[in-house]
Amino acid sequence: MIRVHNNWKAVFEGPPRAEIEKVLPAFLTASRWFGGKAKTIRSTKFADVLRENSGDGPMVLGLIEVTYDEGGVDTYTLPMTAVFGKEADRMTHDHPQAIIVALTVIHLQKELPGILYDALWNDACAYSLLTSMGRGTQFQGSTGSLAGSATDLFDEAAICAYAASSSVLKGEQSNTSVKFDDCLIMKMYRRVEPGMNPELEVGRALTERRFPHSPSLVGALEYIQEGTEPTTLALAQTFVANQGNAWDYTLTQLSHYLDRILALDHKGGEPGQGPLEGSNQEATTSDFLFGYRDSANLLGRRTGELHMALGQPSEVAAFAPEACSSSYVQSRVHAMQASATKALTLLRRRLTVLSETDQELAQAVMEQEPALLDRLGTLCSQPLSALRIRCHGDYHLGQVLYTGSDFVIIDFEGEPAKPLAERRTKRLPIVDLAGMVRSFHYAAHVALRTLPSRRSLPSTSPDLGPWIEQWYRNARTAFLRGYRTTAGEAKFLPQSHQEFDLLLDVHVLDKAFYELTYELNNRPDWVGLPLTGLLQPADTSLVTDDTDGGGTVAHKPVPSPAGQAKAEVNQ
């Protein structure tokens, strides 16, 4: 309990401020958006506290400097407000995760018990931040100030938002977003560093270029401090009506696909007597894809349109396409091989905690280490004609909204754990394609491993591994064909099929190694997914081979390595 006199904002002065700084570690570590949970907090302090110039605004905005025992310092944003009496009781009951500390304000010899809490859960505070984007109010701190900016869309969107109720979205991990009904979404970035967030930078460019398949930028808030680049704290975008993200949509389609496979009368007998062979399976897979092959193709086209919008010539240096120098290629290969070696070293250390099936997969991957590193090194085998452009940078099915008939691409922030400068760099656009290809593979195997929790499976169930691989290859091919149809002649893409295939293979492999490290550190029971991906041979025929009339890949299904798919179904 913190006690102050006359005004709750006095908690940010003198001894009460030091008391808040002492309780902040407990609040931060309990917040899902805090990224330093694996470290030990040594200290927290307010780097700055920004208040509205009028002095009587409903909130303050804190920039919290977090220092760790392991070394390093992070800065987090935390808008704060206070509430008292019955409203404090209601907030404590409804949103306990938002409470920072209990406080008492002594005014006119009366004590008012209340709480200090995260202001994004307060309508008036959310509107105040939004208004600041249109320069209606200003915030000033001891070492910096808050500056708002707005696009031509702000006035219309804000009028709608001010008449709407606000609500904090659930499910976000690294940031917090507030939805104003169906008008707009305001995102507050939690861990920040000097420089423009790529979501603001790319969003501004796409809005100016009128790209129709991503949310339009409405406004932004930046922290201005002398001697450093402006720091992006928040932005607002138009709301896109949707039926969820493409990941959930894909898993739903996969569940339908697997249900129909299980209902097959295999080889003329009862369902479950074994998979069909050769062309029969190819034809059946094509029938059972429902509309997903068309959806994957459409997603490929939308991805191509995104890259066409970002890859056009520009006088702005941050968006001008650049050639791949030999030094750039060598540095990329070095980084990818170092990442792969790190992942394999971690795999050896964690081998004994893996399941027996995953240990078999791990042994197979470790035996192929020299060959896998050589595959990454083939990027240096020839000069590259492909250009580097700004692209998504963290592209997968979860970064795409499904509207019911189309796809909208969101979240251009890049991987939040990486430094801001790295997230703002230009990349080969095939990096985005590799991310989506791996996401298809993940979705396929997640659907397979979660099948037993969705329905009971008889002992005569067929081996679904070949079926799920067939689905993955067809979805992958449809996506890449859609992309090539839209962007195939773009100057930023490789000028030959061979170079395209080489770049795709190398970046898919690099992504699988990244996933391996992530799963070993966070979800060891999922490690079989990237291991299975690493064991797949380089297969570029999906882009260039002929297909049947429906676009289905004309080849036999690839069995799952080490019986992984069958084992997952029976878990």
- For residue 556, the model assigns a pLDDT of 37
Q: What is the mean pLDDT of residues 271-294?
A: 60
- For residue 309, the model assigns a pLDDT of 98
pLDDT higher than threshold 80 for residue 542? no
Q: Are 478 and 293 a contacting pair, CB within 8 Å?
A: yes
Which residues have a Cβ under 8 Å from the Cβ of 494 and sit 6 or more positions away? Answer: 384, 385, 386, 500, 503
- For residue 283, the model assigns a pLDDT of 55
pLDDT higher than threshold 60 for residue 266? no
Q: Which helix (H) or strand (E) holds 279?
A: helix 278-288
Give the pLDDT confidence of 385-404 residue by residue, as tens digits.
Answer: 999 999 999 999 999 999 99
The gap between the terminal CA atoms of the chain, to the nearest Å, is 50
**What is the C-alpha separation between 234 and 127, in angstroms, rounded?**
13
- How long is the chain? 571
- For residue 138, the model assigns a pLDDT of 82
Which residues have a Cβ under 8 Å from the Cβ of 481 and sit 6 or more positions away? Answer: 297, 300, 543, 551
- For residue 273, the model assigns a pLDDT of 42
pLDDT higher than threshold 50 for residue 562? no
- For residue 418, the model assigns a pLDDT of 87
- For residue 559, the model assigns a pLDDT of 38
> Of 53 and 181, which is predicted with more confidence?
181
- For residue 567, the model assigns a pLDDT of 34
- For residue 549, the model assigns a pLDDT of 40
- For residue 66, the model assigns a pLDDT of 98
Q: What is the mean pLDDT of residues 178-186?
A: 95
Poorest-confidence range of 82-91, 128-137, 322-331, 359-368? 128-137
User: Nearest to residue 406, comparing CAs of 240, 210, 550, 290?
Assistant: 240
pLDDT higher than threshold 50 for residue 571? no
Give the pLDDT confidence of 469-509 residue by residue, as tens digits.
Answer: 999 999 999 999 999 999 999 999 998 999 999 999 999 99
At the fourth CATH level, the homologous superfamily of domain 246-262+277-569 is Aminoglycoside phosphotransferase (APH), C-terminal lobe (3.90.1200.10)
Q: What is the mean pLDDT of residues 64-76?
A: 97
- For residue 450, the model assigns a pLDDT of 87
Poorest-confidence range of 225-234, 417-426, 533-542? 533-542
Give the pLDDT confidence of 19-38 residue by residue, as tens digits.
Answer: 999 999 999 999 999 999 88
- For residue 568, the model assigns a pLDDT of 36
Whole-number average pLDDT of the chain: 89
Give the pLDDT confidence of 363-383 residue by residue, as tens digits.
Answer: 999 999 999 999 999 999 989
- For residue 270, the model assigns a pLDDT of 39
Q: What is the mean pLDDT of residues 78-101?
A: 95
Q: Are 463 and 272 a contacting pair, CB within 8 Å?
A: no
Percentage of the chain beyond pLDDT 90 is: 77
Distances (CA, A) of 181 to 149, 167, 189: 22, 8, 20
User: Nearest to residue 397, comparing CAs of 528, 296, 532?
Assistant: 296
- For residue 479, the model assigns a pLDDT of 97
pLDDT higher than threshold 60 for residue 139? yes
- For residue 170, the model assigns a pLDDT of 87
Rg (CA), the chain: 26
Owner of token pair 């995102």? 187
- For residue 238, the model assigns a pLDDT of 96
Domain ranges within the chain, ordered by starting residue: 2-238, 246-262+277-569
Three-state DSSP state, 402: strand
pLDDT higher than threshold 60 for residue 279? no
Owner of token pair 């969705």? 454
The DSSP string of 296-334 is HHHHHHHHHHHHHHHSS--SSGGGS-EE--HHHHHHHHH
Three-state DSSP state, 201: helix
- For residue 284, the model assigns a pLDDT of 59
Pairing verdict, β 407-409 and 191-192: unpaired
- 532's torsion region: left (phi>0), alpha (psi -120 to 50) or beta? alpha
pLDDT higher than threshold 70 for residue 290? no
Give the pLDDT confidence of 241-255 residue by residue, as tens digits.
Answer: 999 999 999 999 999
- For residue 433, the model assigns a pLDDT of 98
Q: What is the mean pLDDT of residues 227-232?
A: 94
**What is the C-alpha separation between 425 and 318, in angstroms, rounded?**
8
